[in-house]
Amino acid sequence: MRRLLTFLCLFISYSFIYSQSSLPPGTYTSTNKKAIKYFEESKQMFQMRKDDEAEKLVKKAIEADPNFIEAYSAYAQLLLEKNRIKEAIPLYEKALLINPKIFIENNYYLGVAYLNEAMYDKAIPHLETIIKAERINPNLKDEAARYLKNAKFGSVAIKNPQPFKPVNVGPGINTGEYEYFPALTADGNTFLFTRNIREGEGVEAPRQEDFYTSKKINNAWQTANPINSVNTLGNEGAPSLSADGEIMFFASCMEVTGDYGSSDRKGYGSCDIFYAQKINGKWSKPRNAGSMINTRNWETQPSFSSDGKTLYFIRGMVSREGIKNPDIYSSVIGEDGKFSEPVKLGDNINTLEGEESVFIHPDNQTLYFSSEGHPGMGRLDIFMSKRNADGSWGKAVNLGYPINTVADENSLLVDADGKLAYFASEREGGFGGLDIYQFELPETLRPEKITYVKGHIFNARTKDPLEASFELVDLESQQSVTSAFSNSQGEFLVTLTSNHNYLVNVSKPGFLFYSDNFSLKDKVADYSKPYKLEIPLQPIDTGIIELKNIFFDVNKWDLKAESKAELQKIISFLKANPLLKVEFSGHTDNSGEKAFNKTLSNNRAKAIYDYVIEKGAIPATNLSYKGYGDTKPKAPNDSPENKAKNRRTELKIVSK
C-alpha cells in the first residue's frame, strides 16, 4: 500500500516503541532477561538494516516471553516495512490483547493494516480509539481521522457493490507486455495507448514506453502499430486525443537538462507535455506545449477538451523525496492560440493528498480523476465530478466498489457515448502484464448524453475539399461550442450535447461565408448515427448567401437575440473583404397582402443593414438593402415547408 506504508514508516521505529510506552523510561513489559537480550540484539540488527537477522532475534524474544509487548510491536513494524501486512496483523492484535493501554498507538497501525487488507469494519474501532485518545501525536490523530473516513466509506461500499463486468479488449491491443493509458477518438474507431516493452532478456533489462494505435473494423480492434513519427528512444506516455483525432497531447519525461535520449525533443524539466498534429494522415514532429504549461516541475497526464479550448493536466512539485502531492490544473487556449496561465481546480477536486489521471469527457461537463484525498477504498480511487452552472466543479463522487478497490485505480477512459469505460488491470485471465479492459459504466456514473457531428467542407464549384475555419454556436446561449479547422480532406468531427439548437458558420479567404443551423432537440443521442453536414463554399464572385441564422418574430422586423452570432459573422466577413459591395435582401412567402409583405421584407433587410453599420463600423457606401416581398420565391408556395424556404434574408454580392 504505497501511500499508507510510506506514512507508517515515518512513524514506526524501535525507539518509537520505547518513547510511546506508558511504562517508566528504561523499563520493558518483560522481566525475562533472555527475552530482553534477544530484543536488544534484534534492535541493533534492525538499525544495521540486517532485517533477516533482526527477524530471527525478535522471534526468539517472543518465544522466551510470549507476553513481551515491545517484541510483538517491533516484529509487526519490521513486517510492515517488508510489505508483509497480513503477517503483521496478528502480532498487533496479540500486543493489544495482552495490554491495550501500554502502546495505544498500536491501534493506529492495526487499523491502517486492516484498511490495507480491506477489513474495513475491523479498522473502524481502532482508528476511533486513536482519535479519542488524550496523549497522542497530533499528526497521528489527523491521519487516523482521514483513514477513518476511508474505513467507513469502504465498509458501506463493499456491501453495496456497483455492477462491474470487465472484458479484455482483445489481442489487437493487448499482448504479454504492459498496455495502459488508453485514448479514444469521439467516433470510437481509433484507439491509442501506451505499451511498455522490456528490451532484452531478464528482469534487469530496461523497459521502453511507446505509443501504439489500433483501428476498429467489424467491431474488432485490429493489430496495433507503433506511431514511429512520435516514438523515440526515450519514453512517451499518457496520450490524449482531440475529438477528431487530429491533435495528440502526451507526456515525455527526462532529466532537468532536457535530455530525451537520442531525441532532439527539449523540455523545461522532469516531465513535460508535448503535442503533435496529424497532417495528411501522418503525425507531425511533436512540439513542447510551452512555458505556460511546462515548468521545472512534473507536468503529465494531459486531457484535451472536445471543444478544443481547454487542456487539463497533472502538475506535481519535484523534491528530493520525489513528486509531492500532484494536483489537477487547467489552461485555456485564447484567441491568439496560446495557453493561458494554468489554474488549479478547486477543493471539490484537489485535496492535500495526490490527484492523478484526469480525464475530461467529450461532453465537456464531466470530469473523471483519481485521488488519494477524498474518502475511498484506501488508496487511489477513481472519482467523478459534474460541472456546475457557474462553471465550477461539483462535489467528487466515488465510483464505488468494485470499480474501486483497496488497490490503486487510475487511467479511466469513458467513451463518448458514455456507456463503456476503459481501464488497465493486471488481473488473472489476461494476456500478461497490464492489459486494457472495458466495462459498462453504471447509469448513475455516466456523463451527459451527447452525439457527434461530422462535417465535409468543399468548393461548391469544383467539389474539391477545403481546409476552412468553422465554428458551432449554441443558439440559445449564443456561446461558442467549438471553433477549429477542417483537415486537408475538408473533414471535421466535433461532439455536441443533445437537446440543443446549433448554428454552424464556416469561412475561408476567397469564399463567401457559410451559415446554417440544425437542431438536436428531442433527438436521442445515438453514436451509431452521427449528424452529418455537407458544406459547400461558394467563391466570392458567385453571389448570394442565405442568412439562415437571422431570426424575426412573425410579421415583425426586430432582430431576435439569437441572431447575434450570425450578425457578428457578417461584420467579420465584410471587414475581411473591405472592397465588397453587398445588398441585404428580404423575402417573404405569398401569404397575406403583397404591400405588407413588401414592407415587411424591406424592413427586415434594413434592420440587418442598420445593425452592421452601427455595430461593425462598416461604411454605408458599401451596403444597401431591399425588400422583394414574394416576387423571388426559392420554391413553389404550395406547402408549409416550401413557404418556410421562401421566408428568408440574404446577403448578395453586388460588386468586388
Q: Is the pLDDT of residue 448 over 50?
A: yes
Tens digits of per-residue pLDDT, 100-150? 988 899 999 999 999 999 999 999 999 999 999 988 888 899 999 999 999
Q: Are residues 206 and 303 in the same domain?
A: yes
- More confident position, 20 or 370: 370
What local confidence, expressed as pLDDT, does residue 182 receive?
Answer: 92
> Residue 133's domain is classified under what CATH number?
1.25.40.10
What local confidence, expressed as pLDDT, does residue 526 receive?
Answer: 61
Q: Are residues 528 and 434 in the same domain?
A: no
Q: Is the pLDDT of residue 7 over 60?
A: no
Residues 6+ apart with CB under 8 A from 537: 457, 458, 459, 460, 466, 468, 506, 508, 511, 512, 514
CA distance 357 to 183: 12
Q: Are residues 205 and 258 in the same domain?
A: yes
Q: Is residue 162 part of a domain?
A: no
DSSP structure string for 294-335: --SSEEEEEEE-TTSSEEEEEEEEEETTEEEEEEEEEEEB-T
> Residue 584's domain is classified under what CATH number?
3.30.1330.60
Phi, psi of 410 (to 5 degrees): -160, -170
Count of CB atoms situated within 10 Å of the CB of 275: 20
Q: Is residue 167 part of a domain?
A: no
| CB 451 within 8 Å of CB 186 | no
Q: Is the pLDDT of residue 371 over 50?
A: yes
Q: Is the pLDDT of residue 484 over 80?
A: yes
Tens digits of per-residue pLDDT, 64-105? 999 999 999 999 999 988 889 999 999 999 999 999 988 899
Average pLDDT value for residue range 436-446? 94
Q: Is the pLDDT of residue 582 over 90?
A: yes
| CB 36 within 8 Å of CB 26 | no
Q: Burial, 616: exposed, middle or buried (Cβ in 10 Å; 0-12, 13-18, 19+)? A: middle
| CB 158 within 8 Å of CB 120 | yes
Q: Is residue 172 part of a domain?
A: no
Average pLDDT value for residue range 235-239? 87
- Cell output for 255: 532529466
Q: Is the pLDDT of residue 14 over 50?
A: no
CA distance 3 to 310: 31
Q: Are residues 427 and 453 in the same domain?
A: no
What local confidence, expressed as pLDDT, does residue 455 receive?
Answer: 92
Q: Are residues 197 and 133 in the same domain?
A: no
Q: Is the pLDDT of residue 19 over 80?
A: no
Tens digits of per-residue pLDDT, 543-572? 788 999 999 998 999 999 889 889 998 999
Q: Is the pLDDT of residue 312 over 80?
A: yes
CA distance 343 to 12: 38
Alpha-helical (H) ranges within 117-208 are 120-132, 138-157
CA dihedral over 224, 230, 231, 237, signed as positive or negative: negative
Give the residue from 402, 419, 445 where a domain finishes.
Answer: 445
Q: Are residues 641 and 497 in the same domain?
A: no
Domain that holds residue 273: 178-217+224-445
Q: Is the pLDDT of residue 540 over 90?
A: no
- More confident position, 63 or 241: 63
Cis bond leading into 402, ω under 30°?
Answer: yes
What local confidence, expressed as pLDDT, does residue 267 receive?
Answer: 80
Q: Band the pLDDT of 431: cuts 50, 70, 90.
A: very high
In one-letter notation, the amino acid at residue 555 is N
Q: Is residue 562 part of a domain?
A: yes
- Cell output for 355: 490527484
CA distance 656 to 653: 7
| CB 421 within 8 Å of CB 165 | no
DSSP structure string for 445-494: G----EEEEEEEEEETTT--B---EEEEEETTT--EEEEEE--TTSEEEE
CA distance 472 to 502: 6
CA distance 324 to 610: 59
What local confidence, expressed as pLDDT, does residue 255 receive?
Answer: 47
Query: Would you tell me the crossing angle of helices 106-116 and 138-157 to the nearest 10 degrees?
Result: 30
Q: Are residues 579 and 648 in the same domain?
A: yes
- Proportion of the chain above pLDDT 90, given as a percent: 60
> Residue 467's domain is classified under what CATH number?
2.60.40.10
Phi, psi of 176 (to 5 degrees): -75, -5
What local confidence, expressed as pLDDT, does residue 10 receive?
Answer: 34
> Residue 411's domain is classified under what CATH number?
2.120.10.30
Q: Is residue 171 part of a domain?
A: no
Average pLDDT value for residue range 604-629? 93
Q: Are residues 233 and 357 in the same domain?
A: yes
In one-letter notation, the amino acid at residue 191 is F
Residues 6+ apart with CB under 8 A from 389: none
Give the residue from 492, 516, 542 where a domain finishes.
Answer: 542
Provide the greatest CA pair distance for the chain.
118
Q: Band the pLDDT of 18: cuts 50, 70, 90.
A: very low
Q: Are residues 19 and 140 in the same domain?
A: yes
Query: Which of 432, 423, 436, 411 has its CA nearest to residue 175?
Result: 432
Give the residue from 445, 467, 499 where a domain finishes.
Answer: 445
What local confidence, expressed as pLDDT, does residue 12 receive?
Answer: 45
What is the side-by-side strand order in the sheet with 298-304?
Answer: 298-304, 310-319, 322-332, 343-344
CA distance 37 to 56: 13
What local confidence, expressed as pLDDT, does residue 560 receive?
Answer: 92
What local confidence, expressed as pLDDT, does residue 269 receive?
Answer: 76
What local confidence, expressed as pLDDT, does residue 462 receive?
Answer: 94
CA distance 536 to 315: 44
Q: Is residue 238 part of a domain?
A: yes
Q: Are residues 339 and 478 in the same domain?
A: no
* pTM for the whole structure: 0.79
Return mean pLDDT, the chain: 88
Q: Band the pLDDT of 612: cuts 50, 70, 90.
A: very high
What local confidence, expressed as pLDDT, does residue 525 receive?
Answer: 56
Radius of gyration of the chain (CA): 33
**How many separate domains does the chain show?**
4
Q: Burial, 333: exposed, middle or buried (Cβ in 10 Å; 0-12, 13-18, 19+)? A: middle
Q: Band the pLDDT of 15: cuts 50, 70, 90.
A: very low
Query: Which of 102, 34, 96 has its CA nearest to residue 62?
Result: 34
Q: Are residues 120 and 30 in the same domain?
A: yes
Tens digits of per-residue pLDDT, 466-482? 999 998 888 888 888 88
Q: Is residue 170 part of a domain?
A: no
What local confidence, expressed as pLDDT, does residue 22 receive?
Answer: 57
Average pLDDT value for residue range 12-31? 60
Q: Is residue 563 part of a domain?
A: yes
Q: Are residues 497 and 560 in the same domain?
A: no
Q: b/e per residue, 517-549, with b = 16+ CB within 10 A?
A: bbebeeeebebeebbebebebbebeeeebbbbb
Count of CB atoms situated within 10 Å of the CB of 156: 11
- More confident position, 23 or 174: 174
What local confidence, expressed as pLDDT, does residue 24 receive?
Answer: 62
Q: Band the pLDDT of 11: cuts 50, 70, 90.
A: very low
- More confident position, 212 or 11: 212
Alpha-helical (H) ranges within 504-593 are 564-576
Residues 6+ apart with CB under 8 A from 97: none
CA distance 24 to 606: 97
